[in-house]
Amino acid sequence: MKIHLYLSLNPEALIASHLPPEEFGAYLAVGTQKFSRGQAMFFDVDPAIQSDYPPFQEIAARCLPHLDGSPRRSTYLAIYRVLEHVPVAALGRLYLATHDGRVLGLTAAPRVPTVDRCFHLYQEFCPVTPRVVSTLDPAEFCSRLTDNSQPVSVPRIVFAELTLGKLATELESSDVGNLPYPGLQHLRECLRELNRKPGKPTKVTVRNVRDDVLYRTIQGGFYAGQAREMKFYPMPAPAELDSAHHEWWHSAQASYGS
């Protein structure tokens, strides 16, 4: 059986499986008995990766079919500090599984786009999970956050930009539309602090976000990188999701009313 290698983001883990991505995503989200439900995010990783990281040497020996010949759904190879050992170049498609097991696959774009806004709101997913406002664009944010000369840094990072609506360019706007974030006044105060202190490029607004991702808030897409080596995974616009991926989009929207 073909062995697939996946990097799960929530929680962080390196997993080998005989299941293809769509089946694996459904398995992560709902299991086999339907007793638990939850979103899942994971990368398809090149199984031919060349690395001295021990778990990569054990894949074929550990991910074996069951004695009855059925496929091995998941063999956990590592559960700690995994992302830093997976080269950005080895990351394949990014898969987003909804609470009831619908799976959407995102392909990396040929290049990372240039983003020109006054303020940004970032949700980090791995290896840490704060929500951060910043004056840095995604490429600058990734570079700074993975710069080990900084007092606080990580080896690699996966994050997404979330919409700020009019607050991205008009800090004192009273029209914030339907921004769904709790503590909007706190969010605005964090942005004001960045505006008052040009030398302060980032500020944490929420230390540890554990809620499901509200996909309609994704601004542009997801990023994975280290320094200036980055991959960008564009998120389709809501209209495209509704027309081309209707079941996934309907499930993703329903996740927040259940």
pLDDT single digits (tens) 201-252: 999 999 988 778 899 999 999 999 999 899 999 999 999 999 999 999 999 9
Rounded to an integer, what distance in angstroms lies between the CA atom of residue 197 and that of residue 222? 28
For position 255, what pLDDT does the model report? Answer: 57
For position 256, what pLDDT does the model report? Answer: 52
Helix then strand then coil, % of the chain, to nearest 5: 25, 25, 45
In Å, what is the CA distance from 218 to each residue of 31, 128, 160, 215? Answer: 27, 18, 7, 5
pTM for this structure?
0.93
Rounded to an integer, what distance in angstroms lies between the CA atom of residue 158 and that of residue 82? 12
For position 169, what pLDDT does the model report? Answer: 85
For position 82, what pLDDT does the model report? Answer: 96
Separation of first and last alpha carbons in the chain: 37
Average pLDDT (166-181) is: 86
For position 133, what pLDDT does the model report? Answer: 97
- Looking only at the bridges linking them, the beta strands covering 202-206 and 157-162 are unpaired
Instruction: Give the closest residue to 139 by CA, choosing from 162, 155, 116.
Output: 116
For position 36, what pLDDT does the model report? Answer: 57
**Across all residues in the chain, what is the average pLDDT?**
91
For position 258, what pLDDT does the model report? Answer: 41
For position 257, what pLDDT does the model report? Answer: 44
In Å, what is the CA distance from 21 to each residue of 17, 83, 108? Answer: 9, 19, 16
Average pLDDT (17-43) is: 86
For position 117, what pLDDT does the model report? Answer: 82
For position 49, what pLDDT does the model report? Answer: 84
pLDDT in tens, 109-155: 999 988 888 899 999 999 999 999 999 999 999 999 999 999 999 99
Continuous segment of H or E residues that includes residue 8 = strand 4-9
For position 41, what pLDDT does the model report? Answer: 96
For position 114, what pLDDT does the model report? Answer: 86
For position 134, what pLDDT does the model report? Answer: 96
Residue 97 has pLDDT above 60, yes or no: yes
Burial of residue 65 (CB within 10 Å: 0-12, 13-18, 19+) is exposed
Residue 185 has pLDDT above 50, yes or no: yes
Residue 95 has pLDDT above 80, yes or no: yes
Q: Which residue type is seen at 71?
A: P
